[in-house]
Amino acid sequence: MGIAQMASGRRKQQLQAWLENVLATMHGRVLSFNVRVALVWADFDAELIQTGRKMPFRDSFIAAIARRHDLTIVTRNTEDLNRPGLRVFNPFGEPRPLPPTTRA
């Protein structure tokens, strides 16, 4: 759901200004859904269908971008995104111990 559907009037203008600021701040660091990601998505979606673990359409796009770039998905929505081949982390969940540090 986008800003247009979520808000109206002054609140809509504030959200649009916030989003424009985020996009400007993140320029060059926002990963897009492109042809390479689409190919990963198609394979991943087929795997999910075969295993009976289909996921919501929008989440499958996020998952494909993460898989393509070997990233961990950071979200509270672990239920929809916790699938084989994905790394998912809930920052609001149980604390995990930090890995040991190595000294050079």
pLDDT in tens, 58-92: 999 999 999 999 999 999 989 899 888 899 999 98
Q: Answer whether residue 81 is part of any domain.
A: yes
Q: Answer whether residue 5 is part of any domain.
A: no
Q: The CATH number of the domain where 57 resides is what? A: 3.40.50.1010
Q: Answer whether residue 4 is part of any domain.
A: no
Instruction: Provide the residue range defining the domain that includes 74.
Output: 12-89
Q: Answer whether residue 55 is part of any domain.
A: yes
Q: Answer whether residue 96 is part of any domain.
A: no
Q: Is 52 left (phi over 0), alpha (psi -120 to 50) or beta?
A: left
Q: Answer whether residue 66 is part of any domain.
A: yes
Segment 12-45, tens digit of pLDDT: 888 889 989 998 999 888 898 999 999 999 999 9
Q: Answer whether residue 63 is part of any domain.
A: yes
Q: Domain tally for the chain? A: 1
Distance separating alpha carbons of residues 27 and 29, to the nearest angstrom: 5
Residue 67 host element (H or E): helix 57-69
Q: Answer whether residue 6 is part of any domain.
A: no
